[in-house]
Structure 1
Amino acid sequence: MAPKKPEHVVVMAFPYGTHAMPLFNLARRLAIQAPTLTFSFFSTSKSNQSVFGTSNNIPSNIKPYNVDDGESFTGHPKDEVYSFLKSMAEKYKNRIHSVYGDDDMMIKCLISDTFLYFGGDMADQMGVPWISFWVGGSCSLSAHYHTDLIRRSITLGPNGIEGRGEELMDFIPGLSFVRIGDLPEGVLFGGLESEFALMLHKMGLALSRAAAVTMNSFAELDLPALEHLKSKLVKCLPLGPFTLTSQSPSHIHDDPHGCLTWLDEQKPTSVAYISYGTMTTPPPDELVALAEGLEESGVPFLWSLKDHLASQLPDGFLERTSKRGFIIPWTPQQRVLGHNAVGVFMTHCGWSSVMESITAGIPMICRPFFGDQRINCRMVSDVWGIGTRIKDGVFTKDGTMECLNLIFSNEKLRGKVGALRGFAKHAVGPEGSSTKNFNTLVEIVCKD
C-alpha cells in the first residue's frame, strides 16, 4: 500500500498594509493545532520577509512561498498596490501551480485574505473548502457584503454625498448607527471604477460562497451586525482579539528608543499616546494644530511620528515640551498601550489598533482617514461609548484640547472600555465564543 501523501493547506495573504500578519497568526495557531498538515503561506517576498523575518517560534509545518510582486515602485505606495491588484489572481494561481503542479490531491483546504475574492474559484477547482479571513470588524464587512443593496437604496446626486453624510444606514440590521459618510470608499462613493473598488465589490459578492468567514473580532463586541451576517453566510466565525490569542513577533518586544523606560517615569493613566499607523499621517496643518493642542493642554504625550515629519511641527515645539513629551519614529504599540501610564490613545481607528486599545482597556480619540476607519470610529464613539471623535473630522488646537479634557475627566469611558476588555478576555478563554469558533474552524480545516 502506497504511503499517504502529506496534506497541505494553502494560505494566501494580501501583502499590503497590516493584512499579512493577522493571517499569519491565524495560520500559526492552526499549524500548532494540526501538526500533521503543512501550511503553505503565499505572499510577496517583501511581505513574507516582514512576517517571517520578525516572528519567533514559527512551527515547522508553515512554509513561506513568494508571489511575484511585479515591477518596482519608488512613488506613492497606492500605485504599487493598484498595479498588483490588476494581476494578483494570476500571480497567486501561477505560484501555487509552480509549487503543486497538477497535484491538487495534496491540498485539502484554501484560506485567503477576504480581499483575495478569487480564492473561492480556486477552491472550487481544487474541490476543497474555502475559508475567507477578514482583518476588520463585522460592521465594515457587512457594508461590503451589502454593496449592491446600498447602491439600490441610496441614489446620490451630482454632488455625491454632500449634504447627506449624516443619513443613517438603518435599512441594514446592525448598521443603524452607521451614517452614509462613514461607509468605506468603494461602496457608494470614492472612485467606484478604481481597481480597489472593483476588488471590494467582487469580494462582497463572493463572501456567501465561503465555507467560513473568519475575522479578528469577538462575538460580544458587535452582536447585531454579527447575527445578521450569520444569517447570510455559511459560517461567520469571530476568532479574536488576536492580541490575546497570538504570539507577538519578536520585534514587538524591542524598545530601541526607550519609550517604555520613559513611560515608567510618568504618573498612572496620565499620558496621551499618539500613533496613526503605517499608512496614514495627518496633513501638515493638522500636525501643527495637534501639536499646539498638546502643548496648551499640558498633558504628557508619547508620539510615534516618523523623523521626516517632525520638521513640520511648530518652531520650538520640541524644546518647549521636552520635559513632558517624547516623540520617536516607532513604538512597540501593544506594550505601550498595556503600560499603566497611558491614559488615552489618539488613533486613526485602524481595526488592529482598535482591538489593541480595547484589550488594553484604553479609551480612544479618533481621527479616521479612509477605508473602515470611519465605521470603526463611529462604533468607538457612538455605539460602544469608549472614546470620542475629533470635531468635524480634522484636528484643530481647540478640538484637540476638548477631546483630551473629555477623556481625562470622564471615568465612564474608561469603565466602558474596561468592561469590553473583560468580554474580550472571556471570549478567548476556555469556554469563550472565540475559542469555540476556533475549534469549529479547526474541524473545517481538518475534515477528511
Structure 2
Amino acid sequence: MENKAYRGHVLALPFPIQGHINPLLQFSKRLVSKGLKATLATTLFIHNTMQPQSSSSLQFDTISDGYDEGGFAQAESIHASLNRMETIGSKTLADLILKNKNTANPIDCIIYDPFLPWALEVAKKFGIFGAAFFTQTCAVNFIYYHVHHGLLKLPITSTPISIPGLPVLELADMPSFISVPGSYPAYFEMVLNQFSGTDKADAVLVNTFYELEPEAVEAMSKVYRLLPIGPTIPSFYLDKRLENDNDYGLNLFVSDSSVCNNWLNTKPEGSVIYASFGSMASLSNKQMEELAFALKGSKFHFLWVVKASEEAKLPEKFVEEIGNKGLVVQWCSQLEVLSNKAIGCFLTHCGWNSTLEALSLGVPMVGVPQWTDQTTNAKYVQDVWKVGVRAKVCENGIVERKEIEFCIKEVMEGERGKDFLENAKKWRDLAIKAGSKGGSSDKNIDEFVSRFINS
C-alpha cells in the first residue's frame, strides 16, 4: 500500500511470554483500527512456536534473545537470559528498524514492554517515538515504582502499608517479591528496572481502565503522563467494533475448543467452576492434591485446566473417578469458557490477564494467588472490586481443600454470592463502556495516536 494509506507504523515489542504478548497484540489491533500500521516483534523461538500469520495491516516480525532454538528453557539462569536478551535483542531490534527504514512504511514508533527497558534506548538512538506499555495494574506498578525510587523501604518492618492511591495493604497483599524477601531476585530486579528511563518515554500506557482503579491512576499520573488503554481483550467480548476479533490469535498452547464448549453446553447456567492457574504457575504436588479433592468434593461441576507438565501431580485415577462431574483439559480458550453461561465462578491464580478477562465478562472469582502481582490482584478482587473471595493460606503455604470448598460455596451459593455476581456484571458493563467509542480508554488511545502522529 502507498505510504499515505497509513498514519504511522508502530512496532510493538512484548516480553516473550504468553501473558505479555496477548495484551500488546490486542492493543496493536486497536491501533490498526485507528489507521496505523502495526508490527508485533517476538523472539525467533516464540515466532517459530506460534507461527503467526501477517495480514495487510497487522504484521509479525522477529528479534533474537540469543536462544533461538529453545527460548528461556535454553538459558543457564534467569539472570543470564535477561542479560543476553538485552545484548542481542538491542542489536536485532536495531537491525529490524534498519530493515524497514527505506520501505514505504518505516517504523516511527516503538511500544515496548518495560520488562525490556533497553528497547527505549534503541528507539531514542534512531529518533523514534517510544512508549512504555505496562501489562500489570496501576496499583502494582505504583508499588514497584515506590520501591525503585526508595519511597518504600525494604524489608517492610511495620504494617499496614500506606501508598497514595491504594487501599491500606498488609504484607500478604504486597507482590510476592516484597512479601517474601529474597524470592526470585532476578525477576524482582526486572520489575524494578521497568522504571529505568521511563521518564524519558514519550507515552506511558497501562493495561487497565480508569474506572477500575481511579485513585491509583490519579496517583501515578502525578509522576507520568499516564494513559489507561485497557481492557486489551478481543473486541468480540467487549464493544464488537473490530471485525472477526474473537481471539488473541497467538497461542503457545494448543487447545480444542469444541471439547470444552460441548461439555459446558450440557450444564445448567451458573453451575460450573472453571479452574485455571495460567501459563506459568507450577503448583506443588500437595497443592494439586488439595485442589483436586476440593473440586471433587464440592457439589458443583468443574472444568479444570491442567497443563501437560502438571498432569503427573494429579491424584491417582482422579480423571477416571470424577466421571461427568468434571472435565480436565490441558488448555482451552479461556475467553470462550468464561463467556459460557454455564460458568458460575472462576477459581484463579489472579494473574492480571485472567483477572481482567473475568472482570470484563462478569464472572465472580475465588482467588488462590501464587506469586508476583497475583496477591495484590486478589486483594482488589475481594476488598476493592468485591467480585469474590481470596482463599486463606495455611502456615505451610498451602490452601487446603476445606478452605477451597468453603470459598467456592461462598461464591456459588453463599449469602454474598448474589452481591459478587451483581458487582461482576457492573464491572463488565464499565469495561465494555471504557473501550467503546468515546469511552475513557478509547479516548486515551486517540490521545496516544494524536501524540505520536504530531510528535
With the length of structure 1 as denominator, give the TM-score of the two structures.
0.87
User: How many Å separate the matches in 2 of 1:75 and 1:241?
Assistant: 25
Candidates 138, 160, 173, aligned match of 1:168: 160
User: How many Å separate the matches in 1 of 2:345 and 2:296?
Assistant: 16
Q: Residues 354-376 of structure 1: CA distance to partner in whole angstroms, max 9, x if unpaired?
A: 01111111111111111111111
Q: What is aligned with 1:271?
A: 272
Change (3 A) 1:360 1:126: same
Which residue identity lines up with residue 145 of structure 1 in the other structure? Y
Moved more, 265-274 or 40-49: 40-49
Residue 75 of structure 1 deviates from its aligned partner by 8.8
Which residue identity lines up with residue 384 of structure 2 in the other structure? V
Q: What is aligned with 1:422?
A: 429
Change (3 A) 1:8 1:323: closer
State how 1:404-419 maps to structure 2 within 5 Å: 404-409=408-413, 410-419=417-426
Q: Residues 250-272 of structure 1: CA distance to partner in whole angstroms, max 9, x if unpaired?
A: 57896356111111111110100
User: How many Å separate the matches in 1 of 2:71 and 2:13?
Assistant: 25
User: How many Å separate the matches in 2 of 1:258 and 1:272?
Assistant: 16
Q: Does 1:90 align with 2:59?
A: no
Which residue identity lines up with residue 278 of structure 1 in the other structure? S
> Which SS does the other structure have where 1:239 is aligned?
coil
Residue 186 of structure 1 deviates from its aligned partner by 4.6
Moved more, 10-19 or 267-276: 10-19
Change (3 A) 1:371 1:276: same
Which residue identity lines up with residue 401 of structure 2 in the other structure? K
Change (3 A) 1:81 1:301: same
User: How many Å separate the matches in 1 of 2:175 and 2:74?
Assistant: 19
RMSD (Å) for aligned C-alpha atoms: 3.0
CA contact (8 A) 2:287 2:400 kept: yes
State how 1:344-355 maps to structure 2 within 5 Å: 344-355=345-356
> Which SS does the other structure have where 2:63 is aligned?
strand
Q: What is aligned with 1:447?
A: 454
Change (3 A) 1:145 1:268: same
User: How many Å separate the matches in 2 of 1:261 and 1:199?
Assistant: 42
Unaligned runs of 5+ in 1: none
User: How many Å separate the matches in 1 of 2:256 and 2:16?
Assistant: 26
CA contact (8 A) 2:131 2:204 kept: yes
Change (3 A) 1:433 1:268: same
User: How many Å separate the matches in 2 of 1:74 and 1:228?
Assistant: 37
Residue 278 of structure 1 deviates from its aligned partner by 0.8
Residue 114 of structure 1 deviates from its aligned partner by 1.7
With the length of structure 2 as denominator, give the TM-score of the two structures.
0.85
CA contact (8 A) 2:344 2:363 kept: yes
Residue 59 of structure 1 deviates from its aligned partner by 3.8
CA contact (8 A) 1:21 1:51 kept: no
Q: What is aligned with 2:360?
A: 359
> Which SS does the other structure have where 1:146 is aligned?
helix
Unaligned runs of 5+ in 2: none
Which residue identity lines up with residue 141 of structure 1 in the other structure? N
Candidates 207, 214, 217, aligned match of 2:205: 214
Residue 189 of structure 1 deviates from its aligned partner by 5.3
Residue 142 of structure 1 deviates from its aligned partner by 0.8
Q: What is aligned with 2:55?
A: 58
Q: Residues 119-145 of structure 1: CA distance to partner in whole angstroms, max 9, x if unpaired?
A: 332233223321111111111111121
> Which SS does the other structure have where 2:61 is aligned?
strand
Moved more, 114-123 or 213-222: 114-123
> Which SS does the other structure have where 1:323 is aligned?
helix
Q: Residues 315-335 of structure 1: CA distance to partner in whole angstroms, max 9, x if unpaired?
A: 443333212111111111100
Residue 420 of structure 1 deviates from its aligned partner by 0.7
Residue 307 of structure 1 deviates from its aligned partner by 4.2
CA contact (8 A) 1:86 1:195 kept: no
Q: What is aligned with 1:195?
A: 186
State how 1:89-238 maps to structure 2 within 5 Å: 89-101=86-98, 106-149=106-149, 151=150, 153-156=152-155, 167-170=159-162, 172-186=163-177, 190-191=181-182, 194-238=185-229
- The alignment of Structure 1 onto Structure 2 pairs a total of residues equal to 433
Residue 89 of structure 1 deviates from its aligned partner by 2.5
Candidates 399, 402, 410, aligned match of 1:398: 402
Residue 195 of structure 1 deviates from its aligned partner by 3.3
> Which SS does the other structure have where 1:346 is aligned?
strand
Change (3 A) 1:384 1:285: same
